[in-house]
Amino acid sequence: MARYRIDSTIVDTTNASDSWPEATDWDGRNHISRATGSEWLHQRLYRSRRGRYYVVHDSAWEGSKAHAEWLSPQEACRWMLLMEHDLPADLQQYEEEIAE
């Protein structure tokens, strides 16, 4: 469980209706986040119980603090396509405008 403040809203990852991990690519030495291009910085996408999407940014750097930000439906769709996840029904309408 983790709680984050986004604007004036508190989101709790345990209340999320769904979540998706970032994809990683092996560079021969490390797993590199496809979302961030880093082995140290990571992201996970969540859908809130109200259907809003947010991404949690986390870091393996000592002393860093995780934070979250809202994503528009189009940004969530773009994130999911890049990570090669199947799109949930509420994001499928954006695929045509985002993917080529």
pTM more than 0.85: yes
And the tokens for 15? 């209340």
pLDDT, tens digit, 9 for 90 and up, residues 54-66: 999 999 888 889 9
**66-90 pLDDT tens trace:** 999 999 999 999 999 999 999 999 9
Domain boundaries, the chain: 3-70
**Nearest CA-CA partner of 16 in 47, 44, 45, 54:** 47
Q: Which residue has the tokens 């809003």?
A: 52
